[in-house]
Amino acid sequence: MKFGGTSVADPDAIIRLVGIVGHQLRATPSAPPVVVVSALAGVTDTLVATAQLAEDGAAERAASELRALVERHVAVATAVTSESRTRLLADLRRELEELSGLIHALAVLREVSPRSRDAVLAVGELASSRIVAAAIADRGIPSDWIDARTVLVTDAEHTIAAPDMIETCERARGRVAPVLAAGKVAVLGGFIGATASGITSTLGRGGSDYSAAIFGACLDAAEIQIWTDVDGLLTADPRIVPQPRVVPRISFAEASELAYFGAKVLHPSTILPAVGKNIPVRILNSRRPENPGTRITADGRPEQGQLTAIACKRDVTVIDITSTRMLMAHGFLRRLFEVFERFKTAVDVVTTSEVSVSVTIDDTRRLEAILDNLRNFAEASCEPEMAIICAVGENLRADPTVFGRAVTSLDRIPLRLVSQAASRRNVTFVLRDADVPQAMTRLHEQFFGRQ
Ligand code: ASP
Ligand code: MG
């Protein structure tokens, strides 16, 4: 059970968390949960800012940021504990005093190496996990706090460390499994680990999901729960489609397609360790724990005849490249894409006919140079204010009528490009940006009904 920053933001959130964990333990007493927590909301950002102040030599301002941080943690810790309070506060003070010594030293040096930065950032999760563990214990739930740095072993790529799965799994079996076997909940900080020689490391921003997937994979969890502040992945962006639905089930590959379009609930690569072991990942709302959330699995198993979700990316530019020299010639596409490579511009959608190629880009900073270079060997023109709509669903492969219904629902909306790639789990439409609200609404109605 991973709880993100907003699910441990303040005393109320932590009390809710304790309720959710207690409920889970009563449901599966023989398989107690492992609880993985993020830093309290905003704390990692504050620590990043504090490290920056140290690097700038602003020792006084860094120290005052830290004082505010200590106050916040002490206030939250005091509010959520009783018997454990004295010990918890002593632990927190010690942890935060060490941090202030470190920040002072960095401010003198005016240098923050990646390794030092990890030592600073790790304090957020060390503190939050201690608070949560004490809060859980004080509500009579048998539990142990475990320093995640003694379990999660990483390489020495500080700030973006990668886990050593073999060593980590061995330690998880040695340190975490016995706690669970004794019927207790194990509580660890996410995002943090240590190198083989014991130097504190972090997995990169947002890394707590990754920690949860790693521990879950190592311990053969029945399920990995990502507790956050939304009900799950949505069938469409609520800013465009009124009242989208929560996607009940989605495959890992579908979730990856959607992530590109800014469905920011989680980064799919962070749950790979779980998907690789066929462990379902569930996204749940800690404010509405009774809701079923979204379940991500390797195969997804969508409802028959249904799309899984739709998404869009607005304000893209279409570039059309036409040349009769392309006809039956080889090497044309290489020349074409070399231009985009030279100007470091990513291409999203690509469609081709015999004598023309159309691509979309969203970064138009080098557009003029790109067009100039393309014109050395072809006609090139561009059209701004376009958008990409992406319909995602494993059913697109299995059931040809799904594609037909998608296109039919867009009747009379001019489609500029249509593309379906080899995976055939998505179909992409490029159309005028102005048509997006209508197109998304119609597609959504076709597959998910009116609300
Ligand atoms: N606290 C870390 C961050 O904000 C890790 C996480 O929340 O997943 O990036
Ligand atoms: Mg966070």
Query: Does the pLDDT value for residue 422 go beyond 80?
Result: no
In single-letter form, the type of residue at position 110 comes to R
Quick one: which atom of ligand 1 is closest to the CA of 38? 7
Q: Which residues contact 347 (CB under 8 A, 6 or more apart)?
A: 337, 340, 359, 360, 361
Whether residue 260 is contained in a domain is answered as no
Whether residue 179 lies inside any domain: the answer is yes
Residues 43 and 189 in one domain: yes
- Confidence tier at 305 by pLDDT (50, 70, 90): confident
Closest by Cα among 165, 254, 278 to 215: 165
- Give tens-digit pLDDT for 401-412: 999 999 999 999
Domain boundary among 200, 229, 258: 229
User: Which H or E run contains 144?
Assistant: strand 143-145
> What are the CB-based long-range contacts (under 8 Å, 24+) for 445-448?
445/409, 446/405, 446/406, 446/408, 446/409, 447/235, 447/306, 447/307, 447/310, 447/405, 447/406, 447/409, 448/235, 448/236, 448/244, 448/245, 448/307
H and E: helices and strands count for the chain: 15, 17
Let me know whether 6 and 127 are in one domain: yes
Phi, psi of 263, rounded to the nearest 5 degrees: -75, 90
- The number of the ligand 1 atom at minimal distance from the alpha carbon of 206 is 8
Average of per-residue pLDDT across 87-97? 97
- When pLDDT is cut at 50, 70 and 90, the band that residue 136 belongs to is very high
Name the band, by pLDDT with cuts 50, 70 and 90, for residue 263.
low
Which pLDDT belongs to residue 417? 94
**pLDDT number for residue 301:** 77
> Where does ligand 1 bind, in terms of residues with CB under 6 Å?
4-5, 38-39, 44, 124, 190-191, 205-208
* Residue 247 counted as domain residue: no
Mean pLDDT confidence for 7-23? 98
CA of 45 to the centre of ligand 1 (A): 9
Q: Is the pLDDT of residue 421 over 90?
A: no
Residue 278 falls within a domain, yes or no? no
Same domain, 199 and 314: no
Question: Among the atoms of ligand 1, which is closest to the Cα of residue 39?
Answer: 1
Of 365, 364, 281, the closest CA to residue 317 belongs to 364
Q: In this model, does residue 423 exceed pLDDT 80? A: no
Inside any domain, residue 338: yes
Q: How far is the CA of 174 from the centre of ligand 1 (A)?
A: 26
Is 298 domain-assigned?
A: no
Q: Which of 173, 206, 229 is the last residue of a domain?
A: 229
CA distances from 156 to 118, 153, 159, 200 (A): 11, 10, 9, 9
- 122 and 28 within one domain: yes
- 203 contact partners, CB below 8 Å, separation of at least 6: 154, 160, 161, 162, 163, 191, 192, 193, 210, 211
**CA–CA distances in Å: residue 447 to residues 104, 307, 367:** 58, 6, 37
196 and 61 share one domain: yes
Cβ neighbours, 10 Å, residue 336: 23
Does one domain contain both 197 and 314?
no
Q: pTM (2 decimals)? A: 0.89
Residue 385 belongs to domain with CATH number: 3.30.2130.10
| Neighbouring residues of the ion ligand 2, judged by CB less than 5 Å | 5, 38
344-376 pLDDT per residue, tens:
999 999 999 888 999 999 999 999 999 999 999
* Same-domain status, 136 and 37: yes
Out of 188, 206, 229, a domain closes at 229
Q: Is residue 267 part of a domain?
A: no
| 161 Cα: distance to centroid of ligand 1 (angstroms) | 14
Same domain, 217 and 340: no
Mutate to test the pocket of ligand 1, among 36, 44, 69 (most ligand atoms within 8 A of CB): 44
Kindly tell me the burial class for residue 173, based on how many C-beta atoms sit within 10 Å of its own C-beta (0-12, 13-18, 19 or more).
middle
Judge contact between 420 and 413, C-beta under 8 A.
no
The residue assigned the tokens 């475990």 is 146
Average pLDDT over residues 23-31: 97
Mean pLDDT score, 386-407: 92
Beta-carbon contacts of residue 345 (< 8 Å; ≥ 6 apart): 361, 363, 365, 366, 370
Query: Which domain does 124 fall in, by range?
Result: 2-229
Q: Please tell me the least confidently modeled range out of 28-32, 86-90, 168-172, 306-310.
A: 306-310
152's tokens:
């999660």
Q: Report pLDDT for 303.
A: 77
Domain match, 335 and 211 both: no
**Among the atoms of ligand 1, which is closest to the Cα of residue 203?**
5
The pLDDT assigned to 442 comes to 95
6: nearest Cα among 192, 208, 211, 185: 208
* Number of domains, the chain: 2
Cα of 171 vs centre of ligand 2, distance in Å, is: 25
Assess whether 214 and 69 both reside in one domain.
Answer: yes
Give residue 112's Cα distance to chain centre: 26
Same-domain status, 15 and 137: yes
Percent of the residues in the chain that have a pLDDT greater than 90, as a whole number: 85
Q: Is 163:213 a contact under the CB 8 Å cutoff?
A: no
Q: Same structural domain for residues 84 and 173?
A: yes
Out of 7, 35, 38, give the residue to mutate to test ligand 1, the one with the largest number of ligand atoms within 8 Å of its CB: 38
Average pLDDT for 5-32 = 97
Q: What's the pLDDT at 443? A: 95
**Choice between 83 and 263, residue whose per-residue pLDDT is larger:** 83
Q: Give the CATH number, domain containing residue 185.
A: 3.40.1160.10
Name the amino acid, one letter, at 402.
Answer: V
Edge-to-edge strand ranges of the sheet holding 200-202: 153-154, 192-195, 200-202
Instruction: Assess if residue 120 is contained within a domain.
Output: yes
